[in-house]
Amino acid sequence: MGSENQNLKGMNLLIVDDHPANLDVLFQTLEHEGYNISVAPDGEKALEAVANSTPDLILLDVMMPGIDGYEVCKRLKANAATVEIPIIFITAKNETEDIVKGFKLGGVDYITKPIRQEEVCARVRTHLSIKVLMNHLEDKNEELEGANARLAELDKTKTGLLNQVREQHSCLEQMNEVRMKLAQDLELQNLQLEDAGRGKDQLLEDLKAKNEQLNNLNRDLLQVNELNKKIMKNMEAGA
């Protein structure tokens, strides 16, 4: 429990009550727990205080002159900037109807008068702990969303690299077909050289040209193969 209290120290509380005696009791009780305490004597001052500095939790008296606690809660829950602030009602009423009304308006809990200090500390500690856990969960969700976005980008990059490999492979197959065709032509021309005694010079020239084309294709095939190796290496590194 001590470790839990240590983690909650320094959190900001707003106490709203039109009775100075109640404010004094709550202030001293909760300040002893290590919280930063602000007070407001009525609903209007409470709304002004929240607008100036958002508290981590509000202890809100129900019966006050002017704007009562229910109306203050209603306005805070209608504002996107303050809707997540946990509100604990302080009330002398213990009728089920009044308690349910507070919950329906967005209150998370209630404390009945006369104020019991241990109960106040326990309820405040519970809801601050829940708030801390919810904030931690939101942070983790944001981290998870970021990780998912990075994974999606990596998957997109991987898909692009795979498409490049497929294109290179298709090009490789086409070049290999041309190489085989040239090899067949060379073999045919060699047979022609053996069978014919004339036109040797022209056939030799053709043979040299085809050999040159074959050498160029072999060189291109080696370059494509090296490129594929680099692409696969990058994919493995990205994984």
Backbone φ and ψ of 38, nearest 5°: -120, 155
pLDDT of 197 over the 60 cut:
no
Q: In whole numbers, what is the pLDDT of the chain averaged over residues? A: 85
Q: How far apart are CA 31 and CA 41, in angstroms?
A: 18
Q: Which of 169, 171, 168, 177 is nearest to 214 (CA)?
A: 177
pLDDT digits (tens, 9 = 90+) for 143-165: 888 888 888 888 888 788 778 87
Is-above-0.85 flag for pTM? no
Q: Which residue's entry shows tokens 């109640």?
A: 22
What is the mean predicted confidence (pLDDT) over 119-136?
93
Residue 172: pLDDT over 90: no
Class of 2-115 in CATH: alpha beta
Q: Show me where the domains of the chain are located.
A: 2-115, 150-238
pLDDT tens track for 67-96: 999 999 999 999 999 999 999 999 887 778
Report pLDDT for 1: 46
Distance CA 38, CA 53 (A): 10
Nearest 10 degrees: Cα torsion 125, 128, 129, 133: 180
